[in-house]
Amino acid sequence: MRFDLELPSQPATSHRVAVLLINLGTPDAPTPGAVRRYLAQFLSDPRVVEIPAPIWQPLLRGLILPLRGRSSAKKYAAVWMPEGSPLRVHTEKQTEAVRQLLHANEYPIIVDYAMRYGTPGIGAMLNQLKLAGAERVLLMPMYPQYSASTTATAFDEAFAALRHMRNQPEIRTVRHYCDHPAYIHALAEQVRQYWAAHGRPEFAAGDKLVLSFHGVPKRTLDLGDPYHDQCRQTAALLMGELGLTSTECRVTFQSRFGKAEWLQPYTAPTLHELGAAGVRRADVFCPGFTADCLETIEEIGIEVRDEFLHAGGKAFHRIPCLNAAPAWIAALGEIVAQHLQGWPARASSPLGAVA
């Protein structure tokens, strides 16, 4: 596959270009201590938990971290791969695949990844890119739908790191790609390939495809966050690509935390209702997660599955996330190439990966 990226006939070879893929993050190990450190950073982000720190921090440190650290560590241990955390493993594979694709298409640029929480951190990776000679950096969040609690906080962290740099690189950001045709195509291909290998649901008999997005508090929608609408937009485009109707496909939101109202309908109760209503088969796909992680493997693949089967459902299928599927890597390459327009990407000498 080749991209339509216009490069100068005499490129400025002194400027090195880098792409930094950014994902949420993961503990370094499936242990209570490592999980507590990760959750402390994650849940202390005011973009994630919008409760005043004097009220929230005593509750977080005194109650939530001790309890959730142990319980979450057990869940991480259940999904941990021989190579490490699923999210990190898949992100590393995506990074390498995008790097190879861009290099094969004559874009010998630096491609690496960072995590908003945990390691490698965004600030540390921006410093690494500078040491590698990068003067232009494209920040590519692995969040197709924009939310203040994901995309915005990743950019916040990057710009905070820039405050400590005397000689800053030029920065571009990818805000969202919830409706990008290549992304929608990659989602549809992932579903089609799963059905080709495992059989297609019998929609005429009442089987359902459930599209589960990560939830956020409903208050964020009321305050103007576009995340809910963009999730719905992605779902509608994917349904159209698959030729499905709103009767055959449901859109839900998962991973609720706390007592506040979150975006509805909730995933687990919806699957319980479907099972109790006599739906024989339910397939669940998570379009907003570009890599499998605890929320997709354990929450969907175990907890939600049990809800459906215990309520009376007969067959439950968790469709894997995009991970390093060829259609998704091609989509990432296309999105990146579009956002590199105008930046010279050729170099007089080969560019290596950031260590």
- Asked if residue 173 is part of any domain, the answer here is no
- Asked if residue 328 is part of any domain, the answer here is no
Mean pLDDT rounded to a whole number for the chain = 93
pLDDT tens figures, 230-250: 999 999 999 999 999 999 999
- Asked if residue 262 is part of any domain, the answer here is yes
Residue 13 has pLDDT above 90, yes or no: no
Tokens of 288: 């907003």
- Asked if residue 293 is part of any domain, the answer here is yes
- Asked if residue 167 is part of any domain, the answer here is no
Provide CB contacts within 8 A for 53, sequence distance 6+.
Answer: 44, 46
- Is 6 labelled a binding residue? no
pLDDT tens figures, 252-283: 999 998 889 999 999 999 999 999 999 999 99
Rg from Cα positions in the chain: 21
State the pLDDT at residue 107: 87
- Asked if residue 187 is part of any domain, the answer here is yes
Residue 353 has pLDDT above 80, yes or no: no
DSSP state of 249: E
- Asked if residue 76 is part of any domain, the answer here is no
Backbone dihedral angles phi then psi of residue 349, each to the nearest 5 degrees:
-135, 155
Range of the domain at 251: 181-318
- Is 295 labelled a binding residue? yes
113: Cα separation from own chain's centroid = 12
Taking residue 273's Cβ as centre, other Cβ atoms within 10 Å add up to: 15
Measured distance CA(152)–CA(22) in Å, rounded: 12
Q: Which of 147, 176, 170 is nearest to 158 (CA)?
A: 170
Task: Return the CATH number at 262.
Answer: 3.40.50.1400
Count structural domains, the chain.
1
Interstrand relation of 281-285 and 315-318 (parallel, antiparallel or unpaired)? parallel
State the pLDDT at residue 2: 53
SS3 297: helix
State the pLDDT at residue 88: 98
pLDDT tens figures, 55-78: 999 999 999 999 999 999 999 999
Please give the model's pTM, rounded to 2 decimal places.
0.92
- Asked if residue 40 is part of any domain, the answer here is no
Residues in the chain: 355
